[in-house]
Amino acid sequence: MLAALSTQAFAQEAGASRLDQVVERKVLNVCTTGDYRPFSYRPGGANDFVGIDIDLGRSLAQSLDAEAVFIQTKWSDLLADFQSKCDIAMSGISVTLPRQREVSFSAMYLVNGKAPIVRCEDVSKYQTIEAINQPATRVVVNPGGTNEKFARTKLADAQIQLFPDNRVIWQEIAENRADVMVAESVEVKLQAKLHPGLCAVNPDQPLQYGEMGFLLPRGDTAFKDYVDQWLHLAKATGEFDRIFDANMK
């Protein structure tokens, strides 16, 4: 009987899709980092995640008559953890060609390029990549994701400082231990609201174009079609905008 099959055995059935597995087990396993406000955030000591992608994950699970279970990962482990533990990854994830070689992506749900955040008195000083990419500039970055890749490739002449906790990395700039961080424009806009004295630099004219999507199993057309249709309806009905706006406050 289908109901008696283990998840592993079910996955091996001819034509089986992750869509069928989630419906059968009534659990949607979601990989997320918990360090990337406003998309996925887990305050120190908290028992739950909050954010745009967390709310979207619960919405997707509900549409499947399932429960969303969030599994914390790190940016450096994102692909490996997704492939071994999760049905989908939702964490403000940038669509990149290297990631696309290993996994699939949902339809893009947000255009969100890279923009700097600096002390407000330094906004005029760091307007361009060329202005930031100087030996005296201290660029702080969280390791393992596209922020580090951007810094390594575009800001190689600056002093690149790795800081492991993306939840409090902004204090490095506020307290003058670093000068600049380059991250997604939505993120720097929110962090500028949350940290008086920090300002996003031209977030509506980012330094690099970027898109965000959800990581999906490679080759699973049925599951991708379902996720894309759910996302389309969430946008068409206004649910996506309500979730986005609520998490940007």
* pLDDT above 50 (res 156): yes
Mean pLDDT of 164-192: 94
Q: How far apart are the first and last CA of the chain?
A: 49
Q: Look at residue 223 in the predicted model and tell me its pLDDT.
A: 98
**Which residues does 228 contact at the CB level (< 8 Å), separation at least 6?**
106, 107
Q: Look at residue 46 in the predicted model and tell me its pLDDT.
A: 78
pLDDT, tens digit, 9 for 90 and up, residues 107-117? 999 998 999 99
Within the chain, what is the greatest distance between any pair of CA atoms? 67
CATH number of 18-109+213-248: 3.40.190.10
- Quickly tell me which residue has 């940290």 as its tokens: 195
- Model confidence band, residue 7 (pLDDT cutoffs 50, 70, 90): very low
Q: Look at residue 196 in the predicted model and tell me its pLDDT.
A: 93
Q: Look at residue 226 in the predicted model and tell me its pLDDT.
A: 98
Helices (H), the chain: 7-12, 18-25, 52-63, 78-85, 97-100, 129-132, 146-154, 170-174, 185-194, 221-236, 239-247
Q: Which residues pair with 72 in a beta bridge?
A: 32
Residue limits of CATH 3.40.190.10 in the chain: 18-109+213-248, 113-209
* pLDDT above 90 (res 16): no
Residue 99 in contact with residue 215, Cβ under 8 Å?
yes
Residue 13 tokens, joined: 């059935």
Q: Please name which of 44, 64, 61, 43 lies closest in space to residue 53, comparing C-alpha atoms.
A: 61
Say how far apart CA 52 and CA 33 lie, in whole Å: 13
pTM: predicted TM-score of the whole model, two decimal places: 0.82
Give the class (CATH, top level) of 113-209: alpha beta
Pick the residue with more confidence: 230 or 9?
Answer: 230
Mean pLDDT of 48-68: 97
Q: What percentage of residues in the chain have a pLDDT greater than 90?
A: 88
* pLDDT above 60 (res 3): no
Q: Look at residue 180 in the predicted model and tell me its pLDDT.
A: 98
Amino acid in the structure at residue 82: F
Residue 187 tokens, joined: 């993120």
DSSP H or E segment with residue 92: strand 88-94
- Model confidence band, residue 15 (pLDDT cutoffs 50, 70, 90): low
